[in-house]
Amino acid sequence: MDGARMGWELSTAVVLFHEAVARKLGLSAVDHKALGVITRSGGLTAGALAGELGMNASAVTALVGRLERAGYARRVADPADRRRVLVEADPGNRPDLAGIFADLGADMNAFMSRYDARELATIADYVTRTVEVLRKRTEALQQSL
Amino acid sequence: MDGARMGWELSTAVVLFHEAVARKLGLSAVDHKALGVITRSGGLTAGALAGELGMNASAVTALVGRLERAGYARRVADPADRRRVLVEADPGNRPDLAGIFADLGADMNAFMSRYDARELATIADYVTRTVEVLRKRTEALQQSL
DNA sequence: TATAATACTTCATCAGATTGAATTATTCAC
DNA sequence: GTGAATAATTCAATCTGATGAAGTATTATA
């Protein structure tokens, strides 16, 4: 299997998994994606979230409302600028989400534990660089709209 | 960076890239995902596609119509059973799609070419197993709805 | 051959999310 | 301090895609 095909398979598998998780959590794919962005950022303003997702402010207000009502995120007033609202992930009271990733983590560990340190370093390097490339390409696509 | 965190970053990057591509192509994320499934399968019936995507038949009719009109897929009568419609990817007349993946491929090659055979084998093994796990977990999630 | 089952499509309807304009609260610039 | 700019929200209108029932064509069964 060549590299491109491999990447394609991985991408499709990730996307389908992502959507299955969303459905299980009772979220749309967009909302789940937004939750991913929020979690990764460790908290960001509503406006920044709008920028990341490419949607306008009122759509984000609605989106954050849905996530908040479902218990996946919360709004926190920004102490530095009180016009701003910080959106943070709120994983505390959602054992279902934790459960899904515990299952996935167990499966991943089952084969990851068989790699030696050298192999793990190679994998880490590959993943890190792949993420870099994907981010760069994503940004390029967004620019060119 | 631990394995779980790495996987999480990769997943988010893939999903955001996937959506950016969709937007660039003028497709919704769902339609783009469907196109991925169609391409990966190498052609499948409308019914099978409905099964893969978890939507009903009429939704798939509409979806395939959109992809067909946009030039990304085509319907082919199944010679074995003329009730059936085979849906195939139609990449021929869509240079935009090819262009995006050419750019991505170039970036990927830039660092992939620096791995030796042993490292490439490790990476291939990792990706293959990760895809297996993701597919298994996706199916498990779909079952448990 | 008549009947039932399958595969897809069509159509009307519905639910959901997105948009844009107007509104409120806060901060910045002069 | 006043006016302009910024950040988020609310609301009405709209758009998109999904659903379910009915319809058409084809194949399987008896």
Q: Does a structural domain hold residue B97? A: no
What pLDDT, on the 0 to 100 scale, is given for residue B111? 94
pLDDT score for A1: 64
Kind and range of the H or E element at B19?
A: helix B3-25
The CATH number of residue A13's host domain is 1.10.10.10
Across chain B, mean pLDDT equals 92
**B38 contacts B73 by C-beta, under 8 angstroms:** yes
Q: Is residue B45 part of a domain?
A: yes
State the DSSP code for A80. S
- List for chain A the helix, strand, coil content (%; round to 5): 70, 10, 20
Report if residue B46 sits inside a domain.
yes
Q: CA B40 → C1' D6, Å?
A: 47
Residue of B nearest to A122 (CA): B119
Question: pLDDT tens, B97-115?
Answer: 888 989 999 999 999 999 9
Does B103 fall in a domain? no
Per-residue pLDDT tens for A77-106?
999 999 999 999 987 767 888 889 899 999
Domain annotation covers residue A73 = yes
State the best of A2, A28, A30, A123 to mutate against chain B, taking most chain B CBs within 10 Å. A123
Whether the CB-CB separation of B131 and A10 falls below 8 Å is answered with yes
Residue at A123 is within a domain: no
User: Which range of residues forms the domain containing residue B9?
Assistant: 3-91
Per-residue pLDDT tens for B50-74?
A: 999 989 999 999 999 999 999 999 9
Number of domains into which chain B is organized: 1
- Shortest Cα distance from B34 to chain A (angstroms)? 10
What is the per-residue pLDDT across A32-81, written as a single tens digit (0 to 9) for each? 999 999 998 999 999 999 999 989 999 999 999 999 999 999 999 999 99
Q: How far lies A81's CA from each of A45, A56, A62, A76, in Å? A: 10, 20, 21, 12
pLDDT value, residue A145: 67
Does the C-beta of B82 come within 7 A of strand C?
no
- Is residue B125 one of the residues assigned to a domain? no
Q: Is residue A88 part of a domain?
A: yes
Report CB contact under 8 Å: B9, A127.
Answer: yes
